[in-house]
Amino acid sequence: MNNFQYKRVSSPLAAITELSKNPAAKLIAGGTNLVDLMKYGVMAPEKLVDVNHLNFDTITKKDGLLHIGATVRNAVASENADVLKYQPLLSQAMLAGASAQLRNKATMGGNLLQRTRCGYFYDVSAPCNKRVPGSGCGAMEGYNRMHAIFGASSSCIAVNPSDMNVALTALDAVILVSGPKGDRKIPISEFHRLPGTHPELDTTLDKKEIITGINIPDNNFAAHTTYLKVRDRISYAFALISVAVALDLEGTTIRDIRLAMGGVAHKPWRLKEAEQMLKGKEATVENFKMAAELAMKGAKAYEHNAFKLKLAPNTMVQALKTASGIKG
């Protein structure tokens, strides 16, 4: 690991000033991703700016929003009474991620920005356009079992590894950020990016901006949510496919619906066409299968991940069945 400086800041302005002064500085929160990346030599920040002592550690429910501060631990958020009551999908997704120990350290801001788990990104001897722009993509012709089936480019086929981000995408969360030019609110659909020709950029966050919190607007989904994650091990493994479902049911009719998939793209993958198709329809397995077929439009597999073309729609149908209470 390279030498680095460490600075603890106590105000958002001090954090922004540190980032503005030194382009090679990085914020550190729980450190569960960044420190690993530094140990592997994937990232080598000159300075770590510790955000753990900023006042971003509260969860509040008011004015039609659930607000979760950026430094709230994933364990705290997933067990919070308001999260469980108003946004249980978020809790389900976070509890499907990592391990209890990791969730005790991991923060909301850090989870939003955790980097891909593509093996070629972590292997500094391999080409990777995300790690070293212009060096090529080892995964394209390599071992690409975990990789994207939607939205990839000729530069990068990596996926966003976060479970939390999939639920936040389904719930239309808004990311609150602060920077030298002031505050802004970024809808999560515009926060993570597709790789295009710049896979080194995971998000639209400016390098000098910090995340201060997350807002989730109220909804009527709390009674019918499911986060279904398919992975190689039951815990401590990233999603091969995951599906977040939130339903507003009137009897067996779908009044409103949100659907998002994880493990399939460089950003959490919202399934808007499938949502549109199911809105106003009966919650039946037949309708779920038709929606899953629609959701897979445009999917493209690589040598080792063709199984995802079947696993993804099957997971989606199963998640919809569970959320709507259909047994089996």
Residue of the chain from 80, 92, 111, 226 that contacts ligand FAD (CB under 6 A): 111
Helical spans, DSSP H, in 49-170: 74-79, 81-86, 88-95, 100-105, 108-112, 119-122, 164-170
In one letter, which amino acid is 250?
E
Question: What's the full length of the chain, in residues?
Answer: 328
Is 138 near ligand FAD (CB under 6 A)?
no
Q: What is the DSSP-derived secondary structure letter of residue 314?
A: H
Is there binding between residue 102 and ligand FAD (CB under 6 A)? yes
- When binding is defined by CB under 6 A, the residue of 25, 34, 146, 173 that contacts ligand FAD is 34
Nearer to ligand FAD, 228 or 254 (CB): 228
Angle formed at CA 257 by CA 315 and CA 260, multiple of 5 degrees:
45
- The answer to whether residue 70 forms part of the interface with ligand FAD (CB under 6 A) is yes
Number of C-alpha atoms within 13 angstroms, CB side, residue 74?
Answer: 31
Q: With binding defined as CB under 6 A, does residue 106 bind ligand FAD?
A: yes
Least Å from the CB of residue 297 to ligand FAD? 26
The one-letter amino acid code at 229 reads K
Residue 105 interacts with ligand FAD (CB under 6 A)? yes
Strands 25-28 vs 182-187: parallel, antiparallel or unpaired: unpaired
Q: Work out whether 97 is an interface residue with ligand FAD (CB under 6 A).
A: yes
Least spacing, CB of residue 226 vs ligand FAD, in Å: 17
Residue 195 in the binding site for ligand FAD (CB under 6 A): no
98 near ligand FAD (CB under 6 A): yes
- Compute the half-sphere exposure of residue 99: CA atoms within 13 Å on the CB side of its CA: 7
Residues 6+ positions from 185 with CB-CB distance below 8 Å = 174, 175, 176, 177, 215
Residue 187: which H helix or E strand, with range? strand 182-187
Q: Which of 80, 87, 162, 203 binds ligand FAD (CB under 6 A)?
A: 162
Q: Is 211 in the site for ligand FAD (CB under 6 A)?
A: yes
Binding site for ligand FAD (CB under 6 A): 26-34, 36, 51, 70, 97-98, 102, 105-107, 109-111, 113-114, 161-164, 210-211, 236, 238
